[in-house]
Every structure is written in structure tokens, then in C-alpha cells.
Structure 1
Amino acid sequence: MDAPGIFTLLAAGYAIVLLAVGWGFDRMAERTSQRSTTLQTGNFTYLESHDAWKCPEDQLLWPTSYDPDNRVMRYRAQPSVCNACPVKETCTVTPHGREVTRQLDPWPHSDSGRFHRGIALAVVIMGLILPLTSLITGHNLTEVLVTIGVIVVVFGAGIIPLARHLWNTPSNAPVTHLPERTDREAVVEAAIDRYSRTFGSDRRISKE
């Protein structure tokens, strides 16, 4: 078989570079989101086995409410414990106890995350422009095989996973996990009860 032409090779390289750029952009946005979450939680540690946060003073923050619109669980320390804490002034100014939130969905879980994921997906899709052009103008079997291989790689390693995760994020997801009752208090109570049953009977859930 004849060697592929320079245009075919450049088109393949272009697609692979944009595939890497797209994923790199997505990962940078994810790390920025994680840093923002870390700043908000400080030195608090999430205990998955109890669905609770532990503060640096070894006190636990239990779930108190659930935001079904943003799919965020809120945790709060007991006010009496927080107000007596020797480091309260450096932790929170509220007399109602320190609050910490936890996003229930993986990246991209927010509107900002979906926006950045969409940009990453668009960048990867742009990488197909030259390979498709090369496929149309290819003059030998080697060029066609190289181009098809690159297109398969871009779809398998970029477009499909990025698009699938974007579709699976909760922005357009049905809210079948929520009860049919529409009042917010019922939603909160149902969510807390569901989390309590999921993580065991030793859970103690405080209410605001």
C-alpha cells in the first residue's frame, strides 16, 4: 500500500491534538471546581460511611436539608457545640452552627460545569473537520484507513464519553427520585429519610 499523504497525516495530528485539548480543558475546569469546593469545606472531612462531615475539632455535621433543584445536600453542626468551640471565630460567624454542602452528582454537576463540558465537546468535534475532508479527498487505501482510524479514536475517546456524561448530568434529568408531593418541606423530609435509611441506623439527623 502507498504511504499516506502529508495532508492526511496533518489532519490526523490535528484531530488528536484537539482531542487532547478538549479533555485538558475539561480537566482544568473540573480541578477549578474542586478547588472551589475545597475552599468552601476547609479542613472538613467527609465520612461516606455516615454521610456526615467531620470538622477539625472532631465534631460531626449531619444532613439537615436537601436542595432538589441543585441536587445539593446541606449539613450543619449542632449550634450548642459550634458556639462553645474554641476556634468558632475562625470557622463561622453564624450562631446556628457551621454549614457545609455536598454536591450529589459527579462532574459536570453544575450549569458552569456543563458549559465547560460543552466547550470541550465542541473542541473535540472540531477536530473531525480535517479528517473528514481528508476522507473525502483520500486517494489511496492507506489514507482512508488512517483517517477512519483517527475518526474512530476521536469518537471513542472524546465525543462519546464527553457527550454521554453531559447528557447524564441532572440539568435535563427527570426528577423521578423525588416524591410526588410538591411542597418543599415534604421533599426535604423524604430526602433526609432516604439518606438515613441508606447509610445505616446509627445516623443522627438534626433538623434546622
Structure 2
Amino acid sequence: MVSTAVWFSVAYGTFLLLVAFALDLAARRACGRTANRRSGAFAYHADHDAWLCPQDQWLWPYAFDPHNRVMRYRARPAVCNSCPVKETCTTSDTGREVSRSVDPWPASEAERFHRGIACTVALLGVLWPLAVALGDRTVTERAVLAGTAALLAAGSRPLWSHLRRTTVDFPLDFSAEPGERGRG
């Protein structure tokens, strides 16, 4: 027979994994809302790799920022400067600019930080049943707890997989000026 404490551990570990995915989803949605706010009413068209403004003018790629992995798009200055709604769109005389991250979520350090929090919660969900298994448990209870930990570890793999594949590009020298960080 399996004790109530073991079933509680199974349920709690599962709950923590669900919380981890909920945290990740909330962070992903917040990132998407921020990106939508930055682009305003502009619509990205992947088939053209361009943005279309509300006045039916295209913003074409003009620069790539390799450090931040961001593609920058800009409208022609002549089009923006003669636009009747320019005052509500941009103050720039060089044309409206919109940017787009070229990497999938999570790409930035802030996004990876939020994914790291979700992974930490998932790890706690895996460790909880293992910690309970260290107590005075029967063979059946230990098998249930070990199986639960294995299932939770497998279930958390999608959270971990992207963090393993991406490198973190934090500055190496925090005392240097922002433009000189990382140079020895």
C-alpha cells in the first residue's frame, strides 16, 4: 500500500511542473505583448520580410544588429515625411523604424531569465519526490516516487532544451564602459 504522503508528493511534483509551464507561458505572452506594443499597428509579413504600416506603406530591412540578434526595418523618409499621420507615428525625419527579433523565444537575457525561473520550479518538482523517497519508504513507494521523478524530468525537457542550445552573451567586464565591455 502506498501512503498518503507519497501521493501528496506525486501531486505536488506534478503541480510544480504545471506551475513551471504556466510561468513560462506567462513570460512568453508578456514578451509578445511588449513586441506588439513596440510595433504598434504595423503588421509583419514573413513572405516579404517586411512590415506594412497602417497607411499601406512598406518598411523594408535595412540593418541587422548581430549582438542583439535583431533585424531593423525602416520606411523611406520621403514617404514618412509626407504622411498625414506622421505626428502620431514618429518624430524621426529618417522614417519610422520597427525591429524584430530573429531568434525564437526565449532569445534575450531577460527572456532566458524567465525561462530559468520556470526551469528552477520544474527542477523542484522533480526533486520533491526524490527527497520524499529518501525517508522511511517501502519498495513500492520508492518505485512510485522514482517513476514520478522520471516522468516529471521528461515532462520538463521542453523547458530545458532551448537553454542548453543557446549561449548567454553577458558582458565579461562590468567595470568597462558599455561600448567597451568584453574587451580585455
1:5 maps onto 2:3 in alignment: yes
> Cα distance, 1:30 vs. partner?
1.1
Go from structure 1 to structure 2 and tell me whether the alpha carbon gap of 1:54 and 1:170 turns closer, same or farther (over 3 Å shift). farther
TM superposition score normalised by structure 1:
0.77
Letter in 2 for 1:10: F
**Structure 2 Cα separation of the partners of residues 98 and 170 of structure 1:** 32
1:139 maps onto 2:142 in alignment: no
Q: Which residue among 20, 23, 31 is the counterpart of 1:22?
A: 20
Identity across aligned pairs (percent)? 43
**Which position in structure 2 is the counterpart of 1:110?**
108
**Structure 2 Cα separation of the partners of residues 129 and 36 of structure 1:** 34
TM superposition score normalised by structure 2:
0.86
Q: Which residue among 157, 160, 168 is the counterpart of 1:171?
A: 168
Q: Which moved more, 1:163-172 or 1:44-53?
A: 163-172
Letter in 2 for 1:117: R
**Which position in structure 2 is the counterpart of 1:73?**
71
Letter in 1 for 2:163: L
> Cα distance, 1:65 vs. partner?
0.3
Letter in 2 for 1:44: F
Corresponding residue SS for 2:6: helix
> Cα distance, 1:170 vs. partner?
4.6
Superposed CA offset, 1:168-189 (max 9, x none): 23536xxxxxxxxxxxxxxxxx
Letter in 2 for 1:63: P
Q: Which moved more, 1:21-30 or 1:68-77?
A: 21-30
1:59 maps onto 2:57 in alignment: yes
- Structure 2: any 5+ residue segments left out of the alignment? 170-184
Quote the RMSD (CA, aligned, Å).
Answer: 1.3
Go from structure 1 to structure 2 and tell me whether the alpha carbon gap of 1:72 and 1:170 turns closer, same or farther (over 3 Å shift). farther
Letter in 1 for 2:23: F
**Which position in structure 2 is the counterpart of 1:127?**
125
**Structure 1 Cα separation of the partners of residues 35 and 166 of structure 2:** 18
- Structure 1: any 5+ residue segments left out of the alignment? 173-208
Superposed CA offset, 1:49-108 (max 9, x none): 110001111110000000000100000000001111111111101010000000011111
Work out whether residues 109 and 170 of structure 1, in 8 Å CA contact, stay in contact via their aligned partners in 2: no
**Structure 1 Cα separation of the partners of residues 138 and 4 of structure 2:** 12
**Which structure is richer in relative contact order (CA contacts within 8 A, separation 6 or more)?**
1
